[in-house]
Amino acid sequence: MKIRSKHTKENTPNNRDWKEKNKRYLIQLQKFLDAVDSIKEEELRNNIIAQMLKCDLILTELAEKEIQKYREEDA
């Protein structure tokens, strides 16, 4: 599976601990990966995982922008 290098944890400047240490998020992510694991066709499985990760990245960026906006309003 190829994901552009800009879409890696190491290349993102924001602190994502709020998400990546969240037990509910991790449980749901594991359930998704377990479900996708049952897909026999490797290319399809990899495409589904890559697409989900892209959606997750976009949602994370949106959430972080909202968090930053509220922090700036409180300052």
DSSP labels for 31-74? HHHHHHHT---HHHHHHHHHHHHHHHHHHHHHHHHHHHHHHHHH
Top pLDDT among 70 and 37 is at 37
Which of 1-5, 6-10, 13-17 is the least confident region? 1-5
Which tens digits make up the pLDDT trace of 12-65? Answer: 556 778 888 899 999 999 999 999 999 999 999 999 999 999 999 999 999 999
First to last CA, the chain: 42
Q: How far is CA 57 from CA 10, 30, 39, 41, in A?
A: 13, 16, 23, 25
> pTM of this prediction?
0.69
- State whether residue 26 is helix, strand or coil: helix
Domain ranges of the chain: 16-74
